[in-house]
Amino acid sequence: MDDQGILEAERYQMEQIRELEFEELQVEEVEESNSSDDEQVEDTHRRLAFLEAGAILTLPLFYLEGVVLFPGAILPLRVIHPNFISAVERALTQVDAPYTIGVVRAYRDHDSRQLRFATIGTTAEIRQYRRLEDGSLNVVTRGQQRICLRRRWIDVEGVPYGEFQIIQEDLPLRAPQDAFGKLAPLCNFNGHNVSYTVPSKVSLHGHGDSDNDSEESLEIEVSLAEKGTHHSVIDSCCNYDMMDESTSSGDEKFNSEIKFVSSRTSDSGPSSTPAKQSHGEGSKRHWKNTNLNQFRTVPRAFWPYWVYRLYDSYCLAERAADMWKQIVGVPSMDGFVKKPDLLSFCIASKLPVSESTRQELLEIDGISYRLQQEIDLLKSFNLVRCKNCQTVIARRSDMLVMSSEGPLGAYVNPHGSVHEIMTFYRINDLALEGVAATEYSWFPGYAWTVAYCANCESHMGWLFTATKKKLEPRSFWAIRSAQVADDIQ
């Protein structure tokens, strides 16, 4: 990357840092009956921990099964193990990256069942923490930057560490501004000339025409080598601003209305052809009312406008936000449309799909490519299956949003296990075990019951039932994303 590109990337990152600096962190506090006055919440969220892209640093390592952390996402932790308590304490006092830990997804190998670690993770800044009476810690973290795990080890005191490299994020792609606009007639080329002739009685004059004459005529002269390129570009893109990238009806309509005539010109201008006389009065009236400027508004680039839209990060952000609104609804993504990078991470962190699919989204380097994948997932997302036996347990129409964070969120239980769950109001082929309990409920006013797959007996999640008469819905299901299959169709 050249110096100018590096400076632009640094400026863009600094803008994101300033925006996050003034952003208020909202954390829902859950009442705990055994809390005491000595348990004070320490707030650290004003200390930003953005690190230089490409930097290599050593951080305490947190590896979590069933969890994929994205930049900008909130991750609650209940730290019980002494080694991880020491890891948090060291993160609070370290100099190079204060209040920062490295979080990577851990998973079991399908064949050997051995624990594996993802190579791409996220730095997490400790925003709030509280030490409990039993010595454990309640911690609220927020994802900051993507990282690559280079190596990991456990030090002499048993604290897990990792060597990480901060991943260089690319800038949002946008179609070049100078690639489109009004294209003046190209003339004075050597060799053969090509005339695009309007089927009317309007005579086409030579190069000495006035401005008024040019508004009533359409003549673009190009060299023989550019003949095919200009013909295809004009056919497909003269109305690019009204054309959807998935259709080609505009091309067919344009081809039916404009006749391509190849001829040699003389000093007195092109001569009339039988093709001009073959059109009736209706065609004449059509072209009389046509604004010929639209045919001059063609790309100056080789590719038509809709091709650029396929890779324009801002166009993709609009499509993704609109699709999210139609399919999911909450939370609204409209505020991120002008920040495609943040939008891509926000959607990925809330998509109700399997953890392995979300890990793939985290590993994508390009913003536009990540948004394209998310759009495809939103289009194809239909079924929720058990990871072990592939039994269909829910459909997209059964999805229920129970939190302002969206249909998927991370929750931690008293034993320190973090679960990313998606919520539904209706489920198939799940069996309940035990009695409903209200203690440590993630949803105040609801009691929870453990739910297993009726076919393979895998722990799929929980059924939550209302304990108060006025609560709606009366019940809903919470399914662990770690137990959801990758197949969503």
What mean pLDDT comes out for the span 19-33? 37
What pLDDT does residue 306 have?
78
In the block, tokens 């923490």 appear at 129
| Domain 306-382 class in CATH | mainly alpha
Is residue 374 a contact partner of residue 381, using CB atoms and an 8 Å limit? no
Tally the C-alpha atoms within 13 A of residue 338's C-alpha that lie toward its C-beta: 5
In the block, tokens 């839209």 appear at 309
What are all long-range contacts of 43-47, with beta carbons under 8 Å and residues at least 24 apart?
A: 43/127, 43/128, 44/92, 44/99, 44/125, 44/126, 44/127, 44/128, 44/129, 45/125, 45/127, 45/128, 45/142, 46/21, 47/98, 47/99, 47/125
Q: Which of 380, 323, 315, 320 is nearest to 344 (CA)?
A: 320
What pLDDT does residue 293 have?
54
Q: Chain-centre distance of CA 239, in angstroms?
A: 28
Examine the pLDDT at 45 and tell me if it is beyond 70.
Answer: no
pLDDT in tens, 256-270: 443 443 444 444 444
Is the whole model's pTM more than 0.85, yes or no? no
What DSSP designation does 474 have?
A: S
Residues 6+ apart with CB under 8 A from 240: 180, 298, 299, 304, 305, 306
What CATH number labels 3-26+50-166? 2.30.130.40
Percent of the residues in the chain that have a pLDDT greater than 70, as a whole number: 65
pLDDT in tens, 355-394: 999 999 999 999 999 999 999 999 999 999 999 999 999 9
Q: Which CATH number fits domain 392-483: 3.40.640.10, 3.40.50.2000, 2.170.150.20, 3.40.800.20?
A: 2.170.150.20
Residues facing 132 on adjacent strands = none
Q: CA separation (Å) from 433 to 430, 440, 449, 461, 463?
A: 10, 17, 7, 11, 10
Instruction: Indicate the burial class of 271 (C-beta count within 10 angstroms; 0-12, 13-18, 19 or more).
Output: exposed
Q: Which of 105, 138, 107, 141 is nearest to 121 (CA)?
A: 105
CB atoms under 10 Å from CB of 371, counted, come to 31
What pLDDT does residue 330 have?
85
What mean pLDDT comes out for the span 103-119? 91
The residue ranges of every structural domain in the chain are 3-26+50-166, 306-382, 392-483
Q: What is the mean pLDDT of the chain?
A: 76
- Which has the minimum average pLDDT: 13-17, 214-218, 476-480? 214-218
Please give the Cα distance from 471 to 461 (Å, whole number).
Answer: 21
Cα torsion 47, 50, 55, 56: sign? positive
- Which has the minimum average pLDDT: 203-217, 384-398, 457-471? 203-217
Token pair belonging to 64: 């979590």
Q: At residue 253, what are phi and psi to the nearest 5 degrees? A: -65, -40
Q: Which of 392, 424, 395 is nearest to 408 (CA)?
A: 424
pLDDT in tens, 179-198: 655 544 444 444 444 444 44
Token pair belonging to 455: 């076919």
The angle subtended at Cα 88 by Cα 82 and Cα 94, nearest 5°, is 130
CB atoms under 10 Å from CB of 369, counted, come to 17
What pLDDT does residue 11 have?
53
Please give the Cα distance from 43 to 159 (Å, whole number).
Answer: 24
Percent of the residues in the chain that have a pLDDT greater than 90, as a whole number: 53
